[in-house]
Amino acid sequence: MAIPITVPRRGWTMEQGVFVGWLKAEGAPVHAGDALFSLESEKATEDIEAVDDGILHIPADGPRQGDVVLVGAVIGFVLQAGEVGNCRLQIADCRLQIAVIDAPPSTITPPLSAIGNRQSAIPKSASSPRARRTAERLGIDWRNAKASGQSGRIRERDVLALAPTTPVSSTRRIIAERMLASHRSTAPVTLMTTIDATNLVRLREQSKVGGGLIPSYTDLFVKLAASALEKHPTLNARWENDRIISPDGIHIGIAVDTDAGLLVPVVRNVTRLSLMDLANHSRDLIERARQRKLSASELQGGTFTVTSLGAFGIDAFTPIINYPECAILGIGRIRRCPVVVDDQIVIRDQVTLSLTFDHRIVDGAPAAKFLQTLNAAVARQV
């Protein structure tokens, strides 16, 4: 009996993925545990393993590289010896679903013969001069526009409606879904405070002596935030199935800007790592995030997130909670400013921290106390 190969769900929000390619050829022997095909899902590309033994059958009308495939869709079959690979219908149905979901309205066009008849039936006077000029500038046939003017006249806005749009990548779509899920499912509040980071800057400068890996400011804040979370564990909680869950361990996600969009690899058990171990681990995760080489498991299971826009000259911002986590810490740029210390004006390094938290899980006062603890930890660095 032919055993269908289906697209697995690789993440709690995943409804579809991008087919990257088969890792075995048509007719190749397959054993349970063999890497069968690659799938881009939840911002990561993974090799999907076979769960049955047999012979791989790849239907001619199966998905091609770059096709979007639905979770649960059949994309191939594992056959037993002697079986004939005649399984085209299910694959065709799957591809039809893909085409309907991903094709933007402007790409679904009637037969050429129908277009030709329609064009010949519409006189030139049925469009405004401005509409025709816009159509020429955009390289669009204005006769394909749906008229909204009086007496069936095609206006400029009708031509603009035919302008091509930028396709949304699967990664961008996942990011959008997560942001909307966070917005719909949390009661976000953001607290901001500007703290003295002079000692933190001094500590990082000292780490440059003798060469070797230099921890980033994000590394330093991740380590100090983990220490503060030990004292304020509610900020480390997650909202799952209408319950507040207190995870085992502090697993901090680091927001990484990549060509494909924002990715958040997770550093696990941060409190057990030395600063240098943390710096090595975070650098590896960040590099592989930008190369799209992270596994889905490395993007899941976070309990708190740290994000920084300091490199872009941003002082303060309102980060969005990485749902279902409770909180996210935003780090602004470190800047040298005149401040009053012991009634004297001196130059100190200042940084603004932005903590967005889910008010369903924690109230404002405990969240403010977390920032106070973090502030004290930053000030102690020498």
Under 8 Å between Cβ of 29 and 55: yes
**Greater confidence, 222 or 160?**
222
* pLDDT over 50 (residue 33): yes
User: Strand 44-49 and strand 35-41: pairing?
Assistant: antiparallel
pLDDT digits (tens, 9 = 90+) for 192-223: 999 999 999 999 999 888 778 999 999 999 99
Block residue for tokens 């890996």: 213
Q: What is the 3-state secondary structure (H, E, C) of 199-247?
A: HHHHHHHHHCCCCCCCCCHHHHHHHHHHHHHHHCHHHHCEEECCEEECC
* pLDDT over 60 (residue 256): yes
Under 8 Å between Cβ of 25 and 57: no
The two tokens of residue 100 are 């309907």
- Strand ranges of the sheet holding 68-70, from the earlier edge strand across to the other edge: 44-49, 35-41, 16-22, 68-70
* pLDDT over 50 (residue 329): yes
Select the highest-mean-pLDDT range: 24-33, 83-92, 161-170, 225-234.
225-234
pLDDT digits (tens, 9 = 90+) for 112-140: 333 344 344 344 447 777 788 888 888 88
The Cα 29–Cα 7 span in angstroms is 20
The two tokens of residue 177 are 């879904």
pLDDT of residue 87: 52
pLDDT of residue 234: 97
User: Which domains does the chain possess?
Assistant: 3-102 (2.40.50.100), 107-160 (4.10.320), 187-380 (3.30.559.10)
Under 8 Å between Cβ of 232 and 377: no
pLDDT of residue 124: 44
* pLDDT over 80 (residue 365): yes
Task: Quickly state the pLDDT bin for 274 (edges 50, 70, 90).
Answer: very high
Cis peptide before 324 (omega within 30 of 0): yes
Select the highest-mean-pLDDT range: 67-76, 83-92, 161-170, 244-253.
244-253
pLDDT of residue 108: 34
Intra-chain end-to-end CA distance of the chain, in Å: 69
Q: Does the pTM of the predicted model rise above 0.85?
A: no
